[in-house]
Amino acid sequence: MMGVDETLNDLVKKLPLTDVPEPVQPWVQAYAAQPKLFLGDLLALLLAAGLNPFAAFPYVLCFLAAAQPLGAYSEDATSDYGKVLPTLAAAYGASTVGGLLLSAPFGFDAFGAVGKLLVSALFLSAPRAFFVYQSTGELPEFSFDLDATLDKNAQQFEGKFGTDVPPSSSPPPPSEGPPKA
């Protein structure tokens, strides 16, 4: 029984990728080399658009145009958790801004745009993080040291709130006495 990886690779080999015009060959080769990642990205953008292919089209178009040149399909894109967001961030930003600009003539909803930003970031990074887990077998480590962060912030602001003010060389002005009625 063949696994998903072998099935996808066999399907990609059957596609006529050599017939693709020359200017887009680098993109096609990059996407064909990582079919699981490519399908995960397409599914993520479709889910972020509420399973509406017409609403997802501008985002998919911009993402596919930007992902390969901006490194979202590089060899180390799914090799380490620390590289998932940096390799995805530029393509995600280009996709979101480009998709919003392309879909703006058909109506713009600010609340929907913010929601789309958050949902598409989650949906695009989740499959990549899963592929890192598959290749490394380790879950990401989330640790946050609140005490160290607060200490660092306190040290940063120590000299800025009146503690290092030099004393005045002149005496304070004399008080004028009781108010006159």
Q: Which of 112, 74, 65 is nearest to 93 (CA)?
A: 65
Is residue 53 over pLDDT 80? Answer: yes
**Is 120 or 5 the better-scoring residue by pLDDT?**
120
- Rounded to whole angstroms, the Cα distance separating 40 from 171 reads 73
Output the pLDDT for position 63: 92
Domain ranges of the chain: 27-137
Average pLDDT, the chain: 80
Could you report the per-residue pLDDT of 123-179, keeping only the tens digit for each? 888 888 888 888 888 877 766 667 777 777 777 766 666 555 566 666 666 777 666
Lowest mean pLDDT among 36-50, 106-120, 125-139: 106-120
* Burial class, 102, CB count within 10 angstroms (exposed 0-12 / middle 13-18 / buried 19+): middle
Work out the pLDDT band at 42, boundaries 50, 70, 90: very high
Q: Which of 133, 107, 103, 114 is nearest to 36 (CA)?
A: 133
- Rounded to whole angstroms, the Cα distance separating 85 from 168 reads 52
**Distant-in-sequence, close-in-space partners of 103: CB < 8 Å, separation ≥ 6:** 55, 58
- Rounded to whole angstroms, the Cα distance separating 35 from 11 reads 9
Q: Which two tokens stand for residue 62?
A: 């911009």
